[in-house]
Amino acid sequence: MSDAAVQAKDLSLVFQTADAPVTALSAIDLTIARGEFVSFIGPSGCGKTTLMRAIADLERPTSGSLTVNGVSPEQARLDRAYGYVFQAAALYPWRNVLRNVMLPLEIMGLRERERRTRAAKQLELVGLTGFERKFPWQLSGGMQQRVSIARALAFEPKLLLMDEPFGALDEITRDHLNEQLLRLWERTGKTVVFVTHSISEAVFLSNRIVVMSPRPGRIIEIINCDLPTGRGLDVRESVAFAEIAHRVRAALRSGHSYED
């Protein structure tokens, strides 16, 4: 089992807040294999972001076990095993696009020339060659997010963690970036863990969908998604797509996601 990208066993996480303890995650059992594209979907408070942050060693679980690439999340973080993409681009306004992508490499201690080549390669992967000297505020929201993705890929990690990366963008840009992300995944074969609360996005992108519900945060159902590779946005009109989306919605409903 040590070749699994992520393995969680009976994982729990309880936050001590001012009012009362909040069980963000309760007895999570999950295995993510290498090369998979897994989405976490659920309403606010279901623990999807918390689970991802735990994988990234940004939160500490209170009980249970969690391994990333066979080692503890902390070790994985120090080994620079993953790239993280937030909902906002979080670029540095005082650095141009190229230098923003080079940032993690500087911290890693790579030499200048090596940094440049790698950064240029990632920018090419997201289709932003030619924009190296621009500053973040000169780019649109969608392009900034693409720079953020390029930056997450700078280490060339095997694992990509994305927390609602397209949530702040308009639908048309979102669709465009969904397609681009899919192509990128097919091209690089990385493991992607993707948090979203858009059902169609989850169905379009993933090969497995983890449906979660809140109070306490837990997994309701894991749905397999076997849409054909090389698919475009048109697949959304297919019957197979609608069936899977229906199953996701039913799972969410059974987890009381549509109630107050």
Partner 1 sequence: MNRRNAMTALAVLVLAVIADALLSRVQGDGPKGAEAAAVWWLLAGWVLLLWFVLGRLAQLRGRVLGLLAPALFGLAMLYLWEIAVVGWDVPRVLLPAPHAVGEALAARWGALRADFRQTAVSVVAGYCAGCGAGFGVALLADRYRLLQRGLLPLAGLAGAVPIVGIAPIMVMWFGFDWQSKAAVAAIVTFFPMLVNTLAGLASVDAMHRDLMRTYGAGHLATLLKLRLPSALPFVFNALKINSTLALISAIVAEFFGSPIYGLGFRISAEVARMNVDVVWAAIALAALAGSVFYGLIALVERAMTFWHASYRS
Partner 2 sequence: MRTEKPSWAQSVGPVALVAAVLIVVWYAAAVWLNAPQVIERFDGIGNPWGARELVDATWSMERPVLPAPHQIVADWWASVFGADLDSPRSLVYHAGVTLSSTILGFALGLALGVLIAIGVVHSRVLDRGLLPWIIASQTIPILAIAPMVVVVLGSLGYPPLVSKAVISMYLCFFPVAVGMVKGLRSPEVLQLDLMRTWSATPAQRLVKLRLPAAVPFLFASARIAIATSLIGAIVGELPTGAQAGLGARLLSGSYFGQTIQIWSALLMASLLGVLLVAAVGAVERLVARWMGAAA
Question: Is 77 among the residues that bind partner 1 (CB under 8 A)?
Answer: yes
Determine the Cα–Cα distance for residues 24 and 51; give it in Å rounded to an integer.
9
The stretches of 42-82 forming alpha helices (DSSP H) are 48-55, 73-78
Please report whether residue 22 would count as binding partner 2 according to CB under 8 A.
Answer: no
Distance, CA of 32 to chain centre: 13
H helix count then E strand count, the chain: 8, 9
Total chain residues near partner 2 (CB under 8 A): 6
What is the dihedral sign for C-alpha 136, 142, 148, 153? negative
| Choice from 1, 2, 3, 18 touching partner 2 (CB under 8 A) | 18
Place of tokens 């999807």: 48
Stretch that binds partner 1, among 1-9, 98-106, 123-131, 237-245 (CB under 8 A): 98-106
Residue 15 or 92: the one with the smaller Cβ distance to partner 2 is 15
Which of 63, 107, 140, 240 binds partner 1 (CB under 8 A)? It is 107
- Rule CB under 8 A: is residue 82 a binding residue for partner 1? yes
3-state helix, strand, coil in the chain (%, to 5): 40, 25, 35
> Does 94 engage in binding with partner 1 (CB under 8 A)?
yes
Q: If you search the block for the tokens 């929201």, which residue do you land on?
A: 141
User: Binder to partner 2 among 10, 15, 186, 258 (CB under 8 A)?
Assistant: 15
How many CA atoms are closer than 13 Å to the CA of 161, on its beta-carbon side?
24
Closer residue to partner 2, CB minimum distance, 47 or 136: 47
Say how many Å lie between the first and final Cα of the chain, rounded: 40
Tell me the closest approach of the beta carbon of residue 86 to partner 2, in angstroms: 16
* Residue 168 binds partner 2, judged by CB under 8 A: no
Task: Tell me which residue of 179, 173, 97, 83 sits closest to 133, measured CA to CA.
Answer: 97
Q: Which does 131 bind (CB under 5 to 8 A by kind): partner 1, partner 2, none?
A: none
Q: Can residue 60 be called a binding residue for partner 1 (CB under 8 A)?
A: no
Residues at the contact surface with partner 1, assessed by CB under 8 A: 53, 56-58, 77-80, 82-84, 86, 88, 90, 92-94, 103-104, 106-108, 135, 137
